[in-house]
A and B are shown apart, each in its own frame.
Chain A
Amino acid sequence: MNAIEVSIQPLEERMMKALFAALSLLVALSTPVLANTTIVFATDATWPPMEMVNDQKQVVGYSIEYMTAAGKEAGFTPVFKNTAWDGIFAGLDNKKYDAIVSSVSITEDRKKAMDFSEPYYTVRQALIVPKASTAKSLADLKGQKVGGQIGTTGYFAIKAAEGVEPKSYDEVGLAMEDLNVGRIAAVVCDDPVAANYALDKYKDTLKIAMVIETGEAEHYGVAVQKGNTKTLELINKGILAVKAKGLDKELMQKWMGQ
């Protein structure tokens, strides 16, 4: 009896130690570093120059650098998670990440589902057409197909226009390609993105017909889960500090050249 107990105890002890070590490792891995809070941002990196993937497969862009600067000011470490746009809000709802920084315009409908930070950029909707087109507004495109990215304010603008056939794409780039090969008559999206495509990538075939005046400009905000004030306060602190220091102007110069 005695002999058995002696031989078992060290084994049990060792097992407990190993278990404890494994557990503490698990805890260490799963808890964020408390000294500097990590905020995981989801971003759909298909929206140049706001957020995109560069040739080194890194997520870069105006919003990315903006949030990195805000993190430095407010004391949080941003982690960017490339996420498909279609479902990006569902992921926030399911707590897959803490926030969305993906050129989300603050709208009344979206405010019902999530909370928004201070606005960090202002855009208008732009209409892109082929070089040869004479269309100056959505009203000129009655009976024709106009594309936009699914679930964006640009797509909602097309849907709201009378007589135009709306067509939704997973990515704005796919809509631009369809416009380029002539399957649709126009694309509507945020003006910095429109400029990136029409003045750079497709500068030989496409042009910006006009910037739609939807009454008021749209503001980009960082979206967080409803009631997540802790994260929101940190982000707001960062955004306000970036604005106060004029860092946003430098970033605009760098990414939009304006």
Chain B
Amino acid sequence: MQEQEVAKIEVGDGAAIPTPDDRGLVSAWWIALIGAVALLVLLPVIKPDPYLNILRFVPDGILITFQVTVLSISLAIVIGLFTGLGRISSNRLINLVASLYVEVVRGIPLLVQLFYIYYALGRFVRVPDLVAAVIAMAFCYGAYMGEVFRAGIKSIDRGQTEAALSLGFNNRQTMAWVILPQAWRTILPPVGNEFIALLKDTSLVSILAVADILRRGREYASESFNYFETYTMIALIYLLITLVLSKLISIMEHRLSHYERR
């Protein structure tokens, strides 16, 4: 009975993740996907100048966007795991440090954090632009991720911990071998959601002169003055990426709950 109740953490800042039983959202997903693909294909065919030129100009920006996203999320997961553990730690100092980190990061806008790490700390620590961007994004998302981990760990019934401890596991072993493997199933879907949210937020790094999708678009527009056409294509590219990713996460979520049901 109890195994069927899977705790879900709702973090809505990534994208609307379609679930198979949500008919409204599923059809909206299809319409959006077909619309985005159709426009991305039709516009360059109908009007190669400037639409095809824009599509030729931005691909290296897409690569940079993914690079920043994947590196940042990997680092953020590591930071998040330790922050989550720190937040539930009974050691008051560790708990305070982790909580302080979460409070500080959540209280400062991401854009300000980016400026701070890049330009303010740039005077003392000389890191390449891409590294600075990744550190800033991971620093910010590590705090959010920490909250996801904390909630995921807390969702595991206390009986599990008690059972493990009574079997002679120590605290660390209990966390590593009993709690975390189960918490992963609860944690993974919101992590996927954070991945999409982070991908969208990487558009902010264009302010640091990192040549991501948005930066490439702005460069194209500033030279050609085709603002409408350029930003239409940029928006469609982001939309297509997040639509595909949200579908992948939905499939992953479905698989996980399937496993849970058995």
What residues make up the interface of A, taking CB atoms closer than 8 Å to B? 86-87, 89-90, 93, 109-110, 113, 147, 150-151, 156, 167-170, 174-175, 177-178, 181-183
Q: Which of B182-241 contact A (CB under 8 A)?
A: 207, 209, 211, 215, 218-219, 221-223, 225, 227
**Given A174-B119, A183-B122, A167 and B225 contact (CB-CB distance below 8 Å):** no
Say yes or no: B219 contacts A177, CB within 8 Å: no
Task: Across the interface, name the chain A residue whose C-beta is closest to B216.
Answer: A168
Query: Which of B12-20, B27-35, B123-131 forms part of the interface with chain A?
Result: B123-131
Question: What count of chain B residues pass the 8 Å CB interface test?
Answer: 17
Cβ-closest 5 pairs across A and B: A151-B222, A90-B227, A113-B225, A169-B209, A181-B122
- Whether B227 contacts A167 by the Cβ 8 Å rule is no
A-B contact list, 23 entries, CB within 8 Å: A86-B222, A89-B222, A89-B225, A90-B225, A93-B225, A93-B227, A109-B223, A110-B225, A150-B219, A151-B222, A151-B223, A167-B211, A168-B209, A168-B215, A170-B207, A170-B209, A174-B119, A177-B119, A178-B129, A181-B122, A181-B123, A183-B122, A183-B129
Give A89 to B230 CA distance when docked, in angstroms.
14
Residue of A nearest to B209 (CB): A169
Query: What is the CB-to-nearest-CB distance from B244 to chain A, in angstroms, rounded to a whole number?
Result: 28
Q: Pick from B207, B209, B221, B225: contact of A178, CB below 8 A.
A: B209
Docked complex Cα distance between A168 and B210 (Å): 8
CA distance A93 to B218 in the complex (A): 16
Q: How far is the CB of A92 from chain B (nearest CB, A)?
A: 10
| Nearest CB in chain B to that of A167: its residue | B209
List, in ascending order, chain B residues with CB within 8 A of A150's CB.
218-219, 222
> How far, in angstroms, from A156 to B220 measured CA to CA in the complex?
11
Residues in B neighbouring A183, C-beta threshold 8 A = 122, 126, 128-129
Q: How far is A98 from B57 in the complex, measured between Cα atoms in Å?
A: 31
Tell me whether A86 and B218 are in contact in the complex, defined as CB-CB below 8 angstroms, given that A93-B225, A183-B129 are known contacts: yes
How many angstroms between the C-alpha atoms of A150 and B223 in the bound complex? 9
Given A150-B218, A168-B219, A177-B122, answer yes or no on A87-B227 (Cβ-Cβ < 8 Å): yes
How many angstroms from the CA of A169 to the CA of B219 in the assembled complex?
A: 10
Q: Hey, which chain B residues are within 8 Å of A174, CB to CB?
A: 119, 209
Chain B, Cβ-Cβ closest to A181: B122
Q: Please name the residue on chain A nearest to B125 by beta carbon.
A: A181
Which B residues lie within 8 Å of A182 (CB)?
126
User: In the complex, which residues of chain A have a beta carbon less than 8 angstroms from the beta carbon of B221?
Assistant: 90
Could you tell me if B209 and A147 are in contact, using CB atoms closer than 8 angstroms? Answer: yes
Distance, CA A203 to CA B103, complexed state (A) = 40
Q: Is the CB of B225 within 8 A of A156?
A: no
Q: Give complex CA distance A175, B223 in Å.
A: 19
Measured CA separation A181–B211 after assembly (Å): 19
* Supplied contacts A89-B222, A150-B219, 18 more A-B pairs, CB within 8 Å: A89-B225, A90-B225, A93-B225, A110-B225, A147-B209, A150-B218, A150-B222, A151-B219, A168-B209, A168-B211, A168-B218, A170-B209, A177-B122, A178-B129, A178-B209, A181-B122, A183-B122, A183-B128
The residues of B that contact A156 with a CB separation of less than 8 Å are 223
Q: In whole angstroms, how far apart are the Cα atoms of A150 and B209 in the complex? A: 9
On chain B, the residues within 8 Å of A109 by CB distance are 223
Contact residues in A for B211 (Cβ distance below 8 Å): 167-168
Q: How distant is the Cα of A16 from the Cα of B240 in the complex, in angstroms? A: 54
Q: Which residues of B contact A169 (CB under 8 A)?
A: 209
Q: How far is it, in angstroms, between the C-alpha of A181 and the C-alpha of B123 when the chains are bound?
A: 6
Instruction: For residue A70, give the distance in angstroms from its CB to the closest CB of chain B.
Output: 26
Q: Separation in Å of the B69 CB from the closest CB of chain A?
A: 20
Across-interface contacts of A90 in B (CB, < 8 A): 221, 225, 227
- Complex Cα distance, B122 from A109, in Å, reads 36
A147 and B215 CA atoms in complex are apart in Å by 14
CB distance from A33 to the nearest CB of B (A): 32
Complex: A174 Cα to B209 Cα, angstroms: 9
Alpha-carbon distance A170/B219, docked complex (angstroms): 10
Nearest B residue to A90 via CB reads: B227
Which residues of chain B come closer than 8 Å to A168, judged between CB atoms? 209, 211, 215, 218-219
Closest to B115 in A: A174
Q: How long is the Cα–Cα vector from A181 to B126 in the complex, in angstroms?
A: 7
Q: How far is the CA of A167 from the CA of B126 in the complex (A)?
A: 17
Closest to B119 in A: A177
A40 shortest CB reach to chain B, Å? 20
Cα of A177 to Cα of B129 in the assembled complex, Å = 13
